[in-house]
Amino acid sequence: MMKRKTLHKSLKPHWVWAIALGSAIGWGAFVQPINWMQTAGPLGVILGFGIGALLMMLIAVSYGFLIKSFPVSGGEFAYAFISLGRTHAFISGWFLTLGYICIVALNASALSLMIKYVFPMIVENFYLYTIAGWNVYGIEILIATLGLLIFGYLNVKGTGLSGRIQFIFAIIMVISVVVLTLTVGMHPGAGLSNVQPLFPANTTSFAAVISIVAIAPWAYVGFDAVPQAAEEFDFPARKAFMLIILALIFAAGIYSFMILATSMASPWEVVAAKNHLWGTGYVIQELLGPIGLIILVVALSMGIFTGLNGFIMTASRLLFAMSRAKILPSMFGELHPKYNTPHYAIIFTIAISAVAPWFGREALVWVVDMSSIGVSIAYLYTCITAFYLFKWSTNEITDPSKQEVAPWKKLISLVGIIASITFIGLLLIPGSPAFLGIESRIALIVWVTLGGAFYLYKRKEYNSITELELNYLILGDSKDR
């Protein structure tokens, strides 16, 4: 039987929490509040993200059980293989790769946008072209590329270093958000009166809330970084569920605090009408001056850094797991001789993500929609697998090492399946408040076509591996678990 490569167990529990939280809270929490309020109003956004967090917690029940039972890199790729076989494993892994790489690209582009807002005279140099009304400059592409290279290098150096840095960044981010919200709340020029109206006038409150619920898979996608890191835990995998729940609670709190801070600082409808480059940055600077902007920039920087660091790690682990299963080229499964990290997978993630900044700000919207589809499909496969392994009674148990009598958890996993299908429907059904834009639909068709072509090319080799060997390559030995 072929030899299976494995990763070092070096991740501590608080590092894993930070990876989940930092991946969930990227640039969006600090850059998008005004845009979200235009769609749903302050209360609509907070309710939407709150409901989204609860739905993610239901889905997390399935993740917690599967991580405990199968602590291997690959996460949803491995879970789809367990319940539905190798073809569905490829589909799950392919769409999740799309979601992860999209979010790495998002954070790289957001880094350029942040610096462009703070130092426009520096960034707006070496004009290249205009896309969808947005001027693209050589300096902003350079900044995004440098950010990718720095965090790619940190990830190559090992999960011990990247995990420790992630925790420090996450703590700074949480403190900055709390300080900023309290400072705005206590300022005499701010107040809850600015939060009115709670919903936009041009839509119903239900449609407003649902439009935000629909992007919950993107908003909270970081929590599924945990299964990708499971092979590198230096602690019992059963702790993973609580780490996911804590990350989701903190993430929902940060989203809500940033909506409150932005809407209390200045009437949000007035700010939205002015179409500022960075609405939150504008209102905070107007209210609190340079100090307020510095606190916000620190929080945003930490959100971007943790997003870059977390998703480079998760994307590379997914590519590594798929390569180990012989469905992707062997180079993605190669480990660095010194650091034991999948360095070629990391380099590939950086290279693909570096394309996004060349398409300007409008590409951010397209990529958010794409990533939402990718992760929703992965959530669906995870919940299907958990539903398959949870049993109503002992009479249904055929493999006690993998299956568990848990009727309530089985029911929750069924709710997770319904929630995942709902997310996908909201994005793909015409007329939905969250229906994908034409650019996102075209990009999705291209990605599906590429995946289909790639699978047809590799199908013969992939299907030639026996079930026993593939089970070993994807899930490892039972003694490893």
At 462-479, the pLDDT tens digits run 888 888 888 888 888 644
Cβ atoms 306, 169 nearer than 8 A: yes
- C-alpha distances in Å from residue 305, one per residue of 123, 172, 400, 418, 476: 19, 11, 42, 33, 32
pLDDT at 481 over 50: no
Backbone angles phi, psi at 326, to 5 degrees: 70, 20
Is 397 within a domain? no
Contacts of residue 135, defined as CB under 8 A and 6 or more positions apart, other chains included, come to 124, 127, 129, 360
**Predicted TM-score of the model (pTM):** 0.85
Q: Are strands 134-137 and 127-131 parallel, antiparallel or unpaired?
A: antiparallel
CA distance 336 to 326: 19
* pLDDT tens per residue, range 60-80: 888 888 898 888 888 899 999
CA distance 376 to 219: 11
* pLDDT tens per residue, range 201-228: 888 888 888 888 877 777 887 787 888 8
Number of domains the chain contains: 1
Is 196 within a domain? yes
Is 418 within a domain? no
pLDDT at 233 over 70: yes
User: Pick from 403, 402, 392: which is nearest to 475 by CA?
Assistant: 402
Is 2 within a domain? no
pLDDT at 300 over 50: yes
pLDDT of the residue at 368: 64
Arithmetic mean of pLDDT, 179-184: 94
Cβ atoms 428, 435 nearer than 8 A: yes
pLDDT of the residue at 479: 45
CA distance 300 to 110: 9
Arithmetic mean of pLDDT, 333-356: 89
pLDDT at 2 over 80: no
pLDDT of the residue at 369: 67
- Helices of type H across 137-239: 138-156, 159-186, 205-213, 216-219, 225-229
Backbone angles phi, psi at 235, to 5 degrees: -140, 165
Is 68 within a domain? yes
CATH number of residue 348's parent domain: 1.20.1740.10
pLDDT at 265 over 60: yes
83 — pLDDT class (breaks 50, 70, 90): confident
CA distance 417 to 282: 41
The segment with the largest mean pLDDT, out of 82-96, 111-125, 129-143, 274-288, is 82-96
Arithmetic mean of pLDDT, 100-125: 82
Provide the domain limits for residue 125: 13-372+425-480
CA distance 405 to 465: 32
Is 165 within a domain? yes
Cβ atoms 73, 93 nearer than 8 A: no
Is 121 within a domain? yes
How buried is residue 285: exposed, middle or buried, by Cβ count under 10 Å (0-12/13-18/19+)? buried
pLDDT of the residue at 366: 66
66: helix, strand or coil: helix
pLDDT of the residue at 32: 86
* pLDDT tens per residue, range 30-58: 988 988 888 888 899 999 999 989 988 88
